[in-house]
Amino acid sequence: MMRSYAKQKTRAVIVAGLMLVGVFLLAFTPTTEVHAEVAFSDIDGHWAEYQIENAVSKGIVKGYKNGTFGPNKKVSRAEFVCMLNRALGNLGEAQISFSDVDKADWYYADIAKAVNSAYATGFEDGTFLPNKTISRQEAAFMVTMIVPTEGESSNLKLFSDYTSISDWAYKAMSKIVSKEYLSGYKDGKLHPLDALTRAQAVTMINDIMNEENIVDTEPVIDDNNTKLSGKIYPNNVNIVKGLEEGSVSITDCVILGTLSVKGGGTSTISVTDSRVANLSVAKAGSPVRILAKGETSIENTTGTKEFILQTSNIDGGIYGAGFENLTLTSAAEPTLRGTFGNVFLNGSGASVNFESGDIEKLTVGPEAKTPEVTMDDDADIEVAVVNAAANFFGEGQIAKMYINAKGVAYETKPRSVIVGTGGDLPETGAADSGVTISPEKGDTDVYTNTGITITFSSKMTNPKGKALSASKVDDIVTLTEGSAGGTVIEFTATINKAATAFSIVPKTALSENTKYYITILAGTMMDEGKVLNTGLSSYFTTGETAETLKVEFYPANSQTSIPLTTKQLTIRFSEKITDADGGTLTVDENSYLKKEAITVLKA
């Protein structure tokens, strides 16, 4: 049963179904409805008389010009979202393109608000069905999108018609009955498929406004360790750059506008048992981490710059989906850990470092400019749709890849590859299988003054079969900080005589405790079998020290006036050295020292 009020007159034990999913309502034309200053002719003695008067006084609903309210009239989808928007005061509007909703329609703005708040959606055929009546179970589903419901559950088997509840609505009905926003009839049934009436709708909305903590302001958060709990925010929550590297905790909340993150650090913005319609991450400087936990669903996320998204102990399903839709624009460089629904790469310089977890679907948009996706071995993508040239690095697994463009390269071959119109199957060959990189992939505590060696099992040439130039190695290999698309580190390079190895030395010492990526770009070299290389990526993390090995030369570097009688050049090391494979060095004519390690050139 619904809650009772002090001024409420006798009312039937009817479940008032508040509708939030915005699915079916009667046409709610403002030309036929007006606010009533006097009693309506058809509500005297009605069970919902007080609730109707209360809702009209708050501007949630209107009566008709003929002096009636129509308490038993069925409610349409458009009418219901209009009532909800009036009660909540949500202002943000999404761009909508439903085939049956025109900009001239009275409900256009309200449907745009409902979609922006992620409590109402359209149907697969592109319609919204604004004039369709909304059922009690549909209304219950919508309500669970706007009120905190973590931990709410009711035994629906107590109602004799529980089997008539649709599978998609069962959990929503359980939550809303538990919160007492919906109850059974005198016949012991829930009647989930019955249409919601105007009296039931306003009663449910009144209950929500009385029981929930609805915040009508937009908080600006710049204090470390700020905690938000048990609230509904109809509009925006702003975490500003003044927070610096601080943390924020959001628990058991619903944000129907946008959670804007421009401050915070890796100490985390945590979102627990909450719903967020829109998340915008745009923090300059060091990355911020947003952590979703428990029964949390973040519908739409957009991000620029560098940031971290992570899920932990996420429940799954509708109410615990984690990050449902992630759109990457411009030069976004996210690190992803956990559960993700749809990831869209549309930025001209976007790159993704996917460390662990699962992505249901990753789409590279046609406007993307060679984005890079680096997948560690604990990362899985179920479906990848690639509509522009892109590089996929790492040992992570893609179950199925659809290639609809040329210039797609992958280090680990997907289990299934489908090439569509305009696509081209990447070539793989010996040029990739014989590559070794030092420091090795995943190495930690690497010296900050380390050098990098890339060795191939075959002599390498440029794609036209000509000799490689050391001055052009930076067109083949990139060294970046933080991610595969991060800050480029300049280096000098040499190529051995056999053209089977690159030696790379960063021009400045690397930063301490920092992850670095070595990326070999696809199609930049050709092996002896005339096979172009595919892309390859590796990474290592520095420690806090530099290598202590010291090298002394005699004659010394830049020394002049060396006697012509000098017959010996000396190189002295501060520690015992070996060849690149750890073997003992020898000095015969075919030794490693003479052929690979030391070169004496005449100026």
Angle formed by the axes of helices 167-178 and 136-144, to 10°? 70
A 10 A CB-CB count for 506 gives: 17
The Cα 249–Cα 227 span in angstroms is 5
Amino acid 24: pLDDT: 31
The Cα 15–Cα 137 span in angstroms is 11
Q: What is the mean pLDDT of residues 81-87?
A: 96
Confidence of residue 391 (pLDDT cuts 50, 70, 90): confident
Q: What is the mean pLDDT of residues 539-554?
A: 80
Of residues 158 and 594, the one with the higher pLDDT is 158
The Cα 145–Cα 206 span in angstroms is 17
How far, in Å, are 156, 176, 209, 304 from residue 15 at the CA level?
14, 11, 17, 46
Q: What tokens appear for 474 in the block?
A: 């930076």
Of the candidates 75, 129, 121, 76, the one whose C-alpha atom is nearest the C-alpha of residue 99 is 129
Q: Using an 8 Å Cβ cutoff, are 303 and 283 in contact?
A: no
Q: What is the mean pLDDT of residues 97-111?
A: 96
Residues 6+ apart with CB under 8 A from 160: 187, 188, 189
Phi, psi of 353, deg, nearest 5: -110, 100
DSSP H or E run through 391: strand 391-394
DSSP state of 99: T
Amino acid 394: pLDDT: 84
pLDDT above 90: percentage of residues in the chain: 64
Amino acid 601: pLDDT: 53
Under DSSP, is residue 527 helix (H, G, I), strand (E, B) or coil? coil
Amino acid 458: pLDDT: 87
Phi, psi of 587, deg, nearest 5: -125, 20
pLDDT in tens, 215-272: 999 999 999 999 999 999 999 999 999 999 999 999 999 999 999 999 998 889 999 9
Q: Residue 576 pLDDT more than 60?
A: yes
How far, in Å, are 63, 75, 114, 131, 410 from residue 107 at the CA level?
17, 14, 11, 10, 48
How far, in Å, are 90, 196, 197, 382, 477 from residue 453 at the CA level?
58, 70, 73, 34, 11
Q: 417 - beta bridge partners?
A: 401
Q: 572 - beta bridge partners?
A: 552
Residues 6+ apart with CB under 8 A from 84: 18, 19, 20, 22, 114, 119, 142, 146, 205
Confidence of residue 102 (pLDDT cuts 50, 70, 90): very high
Q: What is the mean pLDDT of residues 558-571?
A: 69
Q: Using an 8 Å Cβ cutoff, are 98 and 122 in contact?
A: yes
Of the candidates 63, 64, 120, the one whose C-alpha atom is nearest the C-alpha of residue 90 is 120
Q: Residue 415 pLDDT more than 60?
A: yes
Of the candidates 282, 361, 286, 285, the one whose C-alpha atom is nearest the C-alpha of residue 326 is 361
The string of DSSP codes covering 175-204 is HHHHTTSS---TTS---TTSBPBHHHHHHH
Confidence of residue 38 (pLDDT cuts 50, 70, 90): very low
pTM value is 0.72
The Cα 196–Cα 25 span in angstroms is 8
Q: What is the mean pLDDT of residues 435-439?
A: 90
The amino acid that residue 299 corresponds to is E
Q: What tokens appear for 237 in the block?
A: 């929550």
> How distant is the alpha carbon of residue 406 from its chain centre?
26
Under DSSP, is residue 104 helix (H, G, I), strand (E, B) or coil? coil
Of the candidates 126, 49, 134, the one whose C-alpha atom is nearest the C-alpha of residue 83 is 134
Of the candidates 74, 71, 61, 66, the one whose C-alpha atom is nearest the C-alpha of residue 30 is 61
pLDDT above 70: percentage of residues in the chain: 85
Q: What tokens appear for 176 in the block?
A: 């809303």
β-pairing, 226-229 with 248-251? Answer: parallel
The Cα 137–Cα 165 span in angstroms is 7
Q: 267-271, 400-404, 571-575: which has the minimum mean pLDDT? A: 571-575
Confidence of residue 602 (pLDDT cuts 50, 70, 90): low
In this structure, is the dihedral angle defined by the CA atoms of residues 33, 36, 38 and 41, taken in order, positive or negative? Answer: positive
pLDDT in tens, 485-532: 678 999 999 999 889 999 999 999 999 999 998 988 878 898 888 888
The amino acid that residue 370 corresponds to is T
The Cα 353–Cα 307 span in angstroms is 10
Amino acid 592: pLDDT: 60
Q: What is the mean pLDDT of residues 60-86?
A: 94
Q: What is the mean pLDDT of residues 310-325?
A: 94
- Could you identify the residue written with the tokens 């009418």? 79
Q: To the nearest 10°, the Cα dihedral for 199, 204, 207, 211? A: -170
Q: 310 - beta bridge partners?
A: 291, 337
Most confident of 104-113, 383-392, 427-436: 104-113
The Cα 547–Cα 540 span in angstroms is 16
> How distant is the alpha carbon of residue 44 from its chain centre?
53
Amino acid 164: pLDDT: 95
The mean pLDDT of the chain is 86
- Could you identify the residue written with the tokens 């030069």? 331
Of residues 564 and 387, the one with the higher pLDDT is 387
pLDDT in tens, 342-385: 999 987 778 899 999 999 999 999 988 888 898 988 999 999 99
- Could you identify the residue written with the tokens 């219901």? 80
Q: What tokens appear for 338 in the block?
A: 């956990």
Of the candidates 288, 256, 295, 248, the one whose C-alpha atom is nearest the C-alpha of residue 272 is 295
